Amino acid sequence: MTRQESSNISGHSSVFREDEAILIAFGANLPSRYGAPQETLAAALLRLEERGLRILARSRFWLTEPVPVSDQPWFVNGVCAVETALEPEALLALLHAVEAEFGRVRSLPNAPRVLDLDLLAHGRRIVPAQPGQGLCLPHPRLGERAFVLLPLRDVAPGWVHPCSGETLLSLIARLPADQKAVPA
C-alpha cells in the first residue's frame, strides 16, 4: 500500500493511500460550450469540486487515439483521485449528471463525446457486474486501455488491481502496441 503525494488542480498538496483511492477517468474528443476538450475537462473537474468532491490528485492530460481505432478525433484523457463520502452508486449517478449537464448524449458505444466520466475504482471495493446495473468495480475494461492506465500512472503509480492483484506497471506492460497515447 503506497502513499502518494500530489497536487490537486487548486495547487494544494494532498496525501492519499493508492489502494484506497477513489479513481475517476475523464475524457473528451468533441468541443463543448466550454471550449476545446481540454477546457471542457478542466471545467468538468471544477464542477465536480463544486458538487462536493475533493480532488486529491490529477494526471496531466493525455492525447489518445480512439479505441477501437476510427476516423473520429483523438481524445484528451486523464485520471484523478478524489475524496468523497458518496457510495459508489451515488458517485456514478453524480458523474452521469455532470456528463449530461455538459451536453453528453449517450448514443452508440465508443461514439465521439463532449465529456466522459468513468468511475474506475472506489478503494478496494469489488462490485461484480449485474444485468441491468451500470456499476461494476473496478471498471471492467480498466486494464485494457492506455487512455486509462497511462494517466493512472501519473496519479497512483503503485496502484494494484483489487481483483487480479496485478500491479499497474504489469497492466501497462500488457497493453497492445497499437494503442497510441502521448502527453498533451
Statement: residue 66 has pLDDT above 90: no
**Burial class (CB within 10 angstroms; exposed 0-12, middle 13-18, buried 19+) of 13:** exposed
pLDDT band at 2 (very low <50, low <70, confident <90, very high): very low
Residues 173, 177, 182, CA angle at the centre, nearest 5°?
90
Residue 113 annotated to the active site:
yes
CATH class of 3-177: alpha beta
Give the type of residue at 121: A
Could you tell me the residue ranges of all domains in the chain?
3-177
To the nearest whole percent, how much of the chain has pLDDT over 70?
89
Position 4 confidence tier, pLDDT thresholds 50, 70, 90? low
pLDDT at 10: 41
Determine which one of 3, 17, 54, 113 is catalytic.
113
**pLDDT digit string (tens) for 69-104?**
678 899 999 999 999 999 999 999 999 999 999 998
pLDDT in tens, 145-169: 999 999 999 999 999 999 999 999 9
The structure's pTM equals 0.89
Annotated catalytic residue, options 47, 118, 145, 154: 118
* 33 noted as active-site residue: no
User: Of these residues, 104, 141, 145, 153, which one is catalytic?
Assistant: 104
